[in-house]
Amino acid sequence: MLYNLHTHKFSNHPGCLELVNQYPQEFDVSIPLYSIGIHPWYIVADRVEDDLAVIEEKIQTSNCLAVGECGLDKRIEIPFSLQEQVFRKQLALAQKYQKPVVIHCVASFQELIAIRNDVKITVPMIIHGFSKNEQLARQLLENGFYLSFGKYLLRNPELESVFKNVPDNRFFLETDTIEETIEEVYAVASKYKGKNPEDLQGIVEQNFKNVFKK
């Protein structure tokens, strides 16, 4: 079984468990397993409470495995204070219903770590689409985050050394919005980790079971 931690496109791929990203205002009931959250790009100030109500309703179903993607992004025009407020509210829901969180974070990692420590959240938090250096990876791991790799693992050879040094029990693989398949991501990950594909599949499967209790 392959596990795709984060995708925006449900492929109904046989032999693959896909955690499909859903938005409160564009909910598709036909998707079997999903995360749901308010992405910082799509925060609408006067709709936040309605969106949070949808999230709280869906999060209580067994099909909802996680809150997200949600997070912080300093490269957009949405006020950072509003982003932080919306993010904290989603973390509170994740903690209340004991669901992991899939994180979007751009140029805001120190703020992210500070918020995690401030709210003392105990549910797993996964940085999706990780693309940064080894120093930041180590800092995030030391603060309890998991790291998910996809697009940048395929496209940035410098990420090989970063990925190699992430402990086997702390990473996931994903496709997000790329055209490449999850098999292609697994193939590169296997090569970088120096493991045969079956062993790598077993590692990711165990991580998924540990985090999502599935």
The verdict on whether residue 51 carries a ligand-binding annotation is: no
Cα separation, 69 vs 7, in Å, equals 10
Q: CA dist 181 to 17, 156, 175, 185, Å? A: 13, 17, 7, 7
Q: Which of 143, 11, 163, 21 is nearest to 173 (CA)?
A: 163
The verdict on whether residue 128 carries a ligand-binding annotation is: yes
The verdict on whether residue 6 carries a ligand-binding annotation is: no
Relative orientation angle of helices 109-119 and 134-142, to the nearest 10 degrees? 10
The verdict on whether residue 176 carries a ligand-binding annotation is: yes
User: Residue positions in the annotated binding site for a divalent metal cation?
Assistant: 69, 104, 128, 176
User: Residue positions in the annotated binding site?
Assistant: 69, 104, 128, 176
